[in-house]
Amino acid sequence: MKSFLAVLTVVATIVVIWYLACIPMNIKGVLDAAERAEEQVMPATAKERRNASALGLVAKNTFAINRVWSVERPRLPAPHQVAQELWKTTVQKKITSKRSLIYHGQVTLSATLLGFVIGTGLGILLAVGIVHSKVMDMSVMPWAIVSQTIPIIALAPMIIVVLYSIGVQGIIPKAIISAYLSFFPVVVGMVKGLRSPDAMQLDLLKTYSASTSQGFWKLRLPSSMPYLFASLKIGIAASLVGAIVGELPTGAVAGLGARLLAGSYYGQTVQIWSALFAAAILAALLVALLGFIERNVLQRMGMSA
Amino acid sequence: MTLVLLAVLAWCAGWWINSRLANSPAAKTRAVQLLVPVIFGVTILVVWELLVRGLEVSLVILPAPTLIAERFASSLPILWQDFAQTFLKGALSGYIMGCGAALLMAVAVDRSDFLRRGLLPVGNFVAALPIVGTAPILVMWFGFDWQSKAAVVVVMVFFPMLVNTVAGLRETSAMQRDLMQTYAASYWQSFFKLRLPAALPFIFNGLKISTTLALVGAIVAEFFGSPTVGMGFRISTSVGQLALDMVWAEILVAALAGSLFYGVIALVEKSLTFWHPSQRR
């Protein structure tokens, strides 16, 4: 309860700072509009205002302050503007509409999930191979670890274009980017998990004369679950980033990344912010969903903390 | 066709050598542990080269490693410029500013239990969000040059770093803190002599996570607009010209920069946290 109050305070502080930041960020745009409406503005022309400090402008034109939160194309939209836009583009638009964020979110989500499933599937398979084969462990594992220090997302534009040139487009290229971004965290986490049973437990199974596959299904796999879920949560966040970045070079057709790009082309800041928040909400939902599954699975297996 | 057969042969040979090495009694030595992944990497490069040549894969789909190496060697000045723009100016300055700010913030937050309880969940939440998405906004605010890239990097590294440092500053036990108290140590004395050193493994964990994030942020931010130099710029324009050898050369630069950056941080960590169990051999 005390933590809840603390979180609430922090969030409220952030919102207040956000509202305050809108004043210096948007004041120039507001004053330009006021000048066009032939109102009295302190330095009278845009030219004089260009190099003036934002705070000084605010001090000289206090009448304009209450307008900075309702500019049409603000440099920094106020929280309620973003919330309104989110509401307008999710609830009040038909899902099939090109302007509905749900439509764009679902485009991104489907690529994310497909890629995530492929990436984690392959990652788990490779981890099983690594744990059971010494050669694979020694040859592949160092590269899997090194790959985490490399910004592999730089490959994204190339994958899109290459796949396009051999006739593959749509959801698959984005899913591939999502897949390889979630692949390596899962491999590393899963190897750690499959190795987590200690020597005593492995020896016990040996005294039962359990086969390798029995040892895998009854001991290694169950004890790897906490590690698996930890890396799944990292993996799904990485997948979403991959899908969003994968939408950038296609020239902005559909998806949350496309909304970001289109917004930045046309200076639609409110649209960028709402797409950003939609992506954040999506990420939070996905991670929360995994957390929920994790709690249930671990509880059923008797491992919940 | 012979080339493809050679590729299969090369793969088998590489695998055979590695399995001999891995199952030999020498497998535990450091030399072999380094050699095996190197052989694996070389095998992949050889197979890649032979397959691309044997199947006559078009340059537009996958260039051979030798072509990439050639392009890398012949365009070193361009690559260096891009590296300086994206890494030295964008990523590194953002990394220093972001990590520094997060450190100071963590020290400030640590003094108040209330703030910590509030900030940690928020920080954890934000650290999991797709923050690269702020790139278009920051590019709009700070212009196309490296300042906007540094800003993206600051936003990206701030929260992972903050969360890790705050967690690290909680690492000391009550007993240790009490001991400092009995020495009549002031807040800052016990901070610098006890709590900061105890937090170092966590701080370095955050620093290491942030190295990759910094590069990712700087490169992706360039996809949203950049001057005509920079790694992200070069990648997106070369992809447009279907000059894939250039893209691969640039990815090679990114890979080298990323692993070197990580390596340097890991080395510093090793020398500063030599006492920690994870560093003992």
Is A263's pLDDT higher than 70? yes
CB contact under 8 A, A280 and B129: yes
pLDDT in tens, A264-304: 888 788 888 888 888 888 998 998 999 899 999 988 888 76
Please report whether residue A96 resides in a domain: no
- What per-residue confidence (pLDDT) applies to A251? 58
Residue B7, chain A, CB below 8 Å: the answer is: no
What is the number of other CB atoms lying within 10 angstroms of the CB of residue A184?
Answer: 24
**What percentage of chain B reaches a pLDDT higher than 70?**
99
Predicted local confidence at residue B21, as pLDDT: 84
CB A49 within 8 A of CB A43: yes
Residue A279 covered by a domain: yes
Lowest-confidence segment of A143-152, A286-295, B96-105 by average pLDDT: A143-152
Q: How many CB atoms lie within 10 A of CB B255?
A: 18
Q: What is the largest CA-CA distance in chain A?
A: 91
What is the DSSP code string of B58-71? Answer: -TTT---HHHHHHH
Count of other CB atoms within 10 angstroms of residue A34: 16
Look up the pTM and report it.
0.85
Q: Which residue has the higher pLDDT, B226 or B151?
A: B151
Contact flag A166-B261 (C-beta cutoff 8 Å): no
pLDDT at residue A102, as a whole number = 86
Confidence (pLDDT) at B133: 83
- Could you give the angle at which helices A2-36 and B113-127 cross, rounded to 10 degrees? 70
Per-residue model confidence (pLDDT) at position A304: 61
Query: Which residues of chain B make contact with A9, given a CB cutoff of 8 A?
Result: 114, 118
Residue A129 confidence (pLDDT):
92
Q: Say whether A260 and B261 touch across the interface (CB within 8 A).
A: no
Record: fold of B74-279: MetI-like fold (1.10.3720)
What pLDDT is recorded for position B80? 92
Q: Would you call B262 an interface residue with chain A, using a CB distance cutoff of 8 Å?
A: yes
CA dist B170 and B154 (Å) reads 24
The total number of structural domains that make up chain A: 2
For the ranges A62-71, B168-177, B248-257, the lowest mean pLDDT is seen at: A62-71
What digits encode the pLDDT tens for the residues B19-65?
888 888 877 788 888 888 899 999 999 999 888 888 888 877 888 89
Task: Find, in chain A, the residue whose alpha carbon is nearest to that of B126.
Answer: A280
Contact B130 A9 (CB under 8 A): no
- Position A83 in a domain: no
Q: How large is the average pLDDT for residues B130-141?
A: 85
In B72-101, the residues whose Cβ lies within 8 Å of chain A are none
Examine the pLDDT at A305 and tell me if it is beyond 60: no
Tell me the mean pLDDT in the region A146-166.
Answer: 82
CATH of residue A213's domain is: 1.10.3720.10
Contact: B235, A157; criterion CB under 8 Å: yes
pLDDT recorded at residue A292: 93
Task: Tell me which residue in B37, B128, B141 faces A75 most closely, judged by beta carbons.
Answer: B141
Structure tokens at B235: 């990648």
| Separate counts of helices (H) and strands (E) for chain B | 13, 0
User: What is the DSSP code string of A222-249?
Assistant: HHHHHHHHHHHHHHHHHHHHHHHHHTTT
| pLDDT tens per residue across span A189-230 | 999 899 888 889 889 999 999 998 898 888 888 888 888 998
Q: How many beta carbons lie within 10 A of that of residue A87, not counting itself?
A: 13
| ipTM of the complex, rounded to two decimals | 0.82
Q: Quote the CA–CA distance of A34 and A21 in Å, as a whole number.
A: 20
Both A24 and A114 in one domain: the answer is no
Contact A279 B133 (CB under 8 A): yes
Domain ranges of chain B: 2-57, 74-279
Q: Please give the residue that has the higher pLDDT: either A52 or A162.
A: A162
- The two tokens of residue B100 are 């520094």
Range of the domain at A151: 101-300
A111 & A187 share domain: yes
pLDDT tens digit sequence for A87-134: 888 877 777 777 788 888 888 899 999 999 999 999 999 999 998 888
Domain for residue A84, yes or no? no
* C-beta atoms of B130 and A139 within 8 A: no
Q: Are A158 and A199 in contact (CB under 8 A)?
A: no
A49 within some domain: yes
Q: What is the pLDDT of residues B45-55, one digit of tens each?
A: 999 988 888 88
* Token code pair at residue B68: 């990439």
Residue A91 in any domain: the answer is no
Domain end point (choices A26, A41, A76): A76
**CA A74 – CA A84 distance, rounded (Å):** 14
Is residue A206 in a domain?
yes
Mean pLDDT estimate for chain B: 88
Convert the pLDDT of each residue in A53-97 to its tens digit. 777 777 777 777 777 787 777 888 888 888 888 888 887 777 777
Tokens of A260: 């970001």
CB B245 within 8 A of CB B67: yes
pLDDT, position A127: 93
Answer yes or no: is pLDDT of A155 > 90: no
Better pLDDT: A39 or A225: A225
Per-residue pLDDT at A250: 64
Residue of A6, A141, A154 with shortest CB distance to B254: A154
Partner A contacted by B33 (CB < 8 A) = yes
pLDDT at residue A97, rounded to an integer? 74
Residues A16 and A135 in one domain: no
Closest residue in chain A to residue B87, using alpha carbons only:
A151
Q: Where does the pLDDT of residue B161 fall: very low under 50, low under 70, confident under 90, or very high at 90 and above?
A: very high
Which of the 8 DSSP states describes residue A14?
H
Q: Lowest mean pLDDT: which of A39-43, B157-161, B212-216?
A: A39-43
Q: What is the CA radius of gyration of chain B?
A: 24
Name residues 167-206 of chain B within 8 A of A (Cβ).
Answer: none
pLDDT average, residue stretch B156-160? 90
DSSP per-residue codes, A75-101: SS--HHHHHHHHHHHHTSS-TTSTT-H
Task: Residue count of chain A, please give it.
Answer: 305
Position B2 scores a pLDDT of 83
CA dist list (Å): A165 to A169, A254, B58, B245: 9, 20, 11, 16
